[in-house]
Amino acid sequence: MHIESKLPNVGTTIFTVMSGLANQVGAINLSQGFPNYNPSARLQQLVTEHMANGDNQYSPMPGLLSLRERIAEKVAHMYGAMVSPDTEITITAGGTQAIFCVIAAFVRPGDEVILLEPCYDSYRPSVETVGGVAVVHSLSAPDYQVDWSEVKRLITPRTRMLCINTPQNPTGTILRASDMAAINDMLRGTDVLLMSDEVYEHLIYDGETHASVLRYPELYARSLAIYSFGKTYHNTGWKTGYCIAPPELTREFRKVHQFNVFSANHPMQAAFADFMAEPGEYLGLPEFYQQKRDFFLQAMANTRFKPLHCAGTYFQLFSYGHLSDEPDLDFCKRLTTEFGVAAIPVSSFYSDGKDEKVIRLCFAKTEDLLEKAGKLLERL
């Protein structure tokens, strides 16, 4: 039987490859983006209590109303935006599922979707699975700044969507108010939708403000914004997130969501609804992760790597071109097998494999592990 792949160029993700290699040789795994510490003991206890109380069957398709109400309260407090729990918030099985549903709900075969690369590796496969065409604006080290005039030139009558990510994985850069104004001016008068991946919304440093699309009413009217409890509460394996969009866009999003997973994990939703009653749990995250970023930079200070500026996320980029001419994938594999620290090559976030000799390391780890990694890499 002949089967023609819809994703012929997709293989095993680089995260699986590098984590597998790290496990094989016993290396410190700073490649895949997840903490090595547990979420709040109180949050775990709330999950247990809700399971014991019988919250183990399907939740409503849009998600528990109690959780959606908490999210609406948070959005009003943080971004000054009033969103309806009933018609504008949908709980999803993680951020990646929300990304797929956004793209599947609106992109038809032949439609163009503009991506800013390097970018999270699920965007392009999601576009191509539904027959869309990825159109790339390539960013460059060390600052990875977007040239919006160049992006504007990519817009055609076939453009259906622009995908942005702030703070951005893997670069650690952020968009600011001036960027959002440029996007708004660029898209005004078009039918182009905006997917705004904001899963690292609380991981922004040095006093910067998160430029959420929810702050800008004209821009929000064409936007679907995506968030992740896993990034906020240190539980990526719980796979719970949400999408916020205007009612007319949410209706179409939910049509795909209900036949994709129907609903997200019930006891986790109930626990999050209780836990969000205390905003301090997420309002303190910028300081928590900035301390980790700064500690990791200090741990790496005696290595020969050159750090790039990290304004957000829990990823730190380092350049190594002054140390080696090796392709970044080969270099990362050598770091893992010879020096005991696993990293991700940034070329894996470019569809054309653009290699600027930059690697990504995750600092969402305990300080002892970060310090040990720094000592190991001093040997390079």
Q: List the domain boundaries for the chain.
A: 14-32+284-377, 57-280
Whether residue 280 is predicted with pLDDT greater than 90 in this model: the reply is no
> Cα Rg for the chain, rounded, in angstroms?
21
- Residue 61 has φ and ψ, to the nearest 5°, of -55, -45
Task: Determine the average pLDDT of the residues in 16-32.
Answer: 95
Whether residue 247 is predicted with pLDDT greater than 90 in this model: the reply is yes
pLDDT of residue 201: 97
Whether omega for the bond prior to residue 142 falls within 30 degrees of 0, making it cis, is yes
pLDDT of residue 10: 83
CA angle at 137 for the pair 135 and 139, rounded to the nearest 5°: 150
pLDDT of residue 265: 96
Say which residue the tokens 């969501």 belong to. 257
Whether residue 282 is predicted with pLDDT greater than 90 in this model: the reply is no
Whether residue 8 is predicted with pLDDT greater than 90 in this model: the reply is no
From the options 3.90.1150.10, 3.40.50.300, 1.10.10.60, 2.40.30.30, give the CATH code of 14-32+284-377.
3.90.1150.10
- 296 in Cβ contact with 151 (< 8 Å): no
SS3 call for 90: strand
109 falls in which pLDDT band (50, 70, 90)?
very high
Task: Determine the average pLDDT of the residues in 284-306.
Answer: 97
- 205 in Cβ contact with 286 (< 8 Å): yes
Q: Are strands 28-29 and 223-228 parallel, antiparallel or unpaired?
A: unpaired
Structure tokens at 102: 């956004």
| Helix or strand holding residue 373 (H, E) | helix 367-377
pLDDT of residue 338: 97
pLDDT of residue 9: 83
- Residue of 57, 50, 86, 54 lying closest to 263 (CA atoms): 57
pLDDT of residue 11: 80
Task: Determine the average pLDDT of the residues in 108-137.
Answer: 97
Whether residue 59 is predicted with pLDDT greater than 90 in this model: the reply is yes
pTM: 0.96
Percent of the chain as helix, strand, coil, to the nearest 5:
40, 15, 45
CATH 1.20.120.50 fits 57-280, yes or no: no
pLDDT tens digits, residue range 351-363?
Answer: 999 999 999 999 9
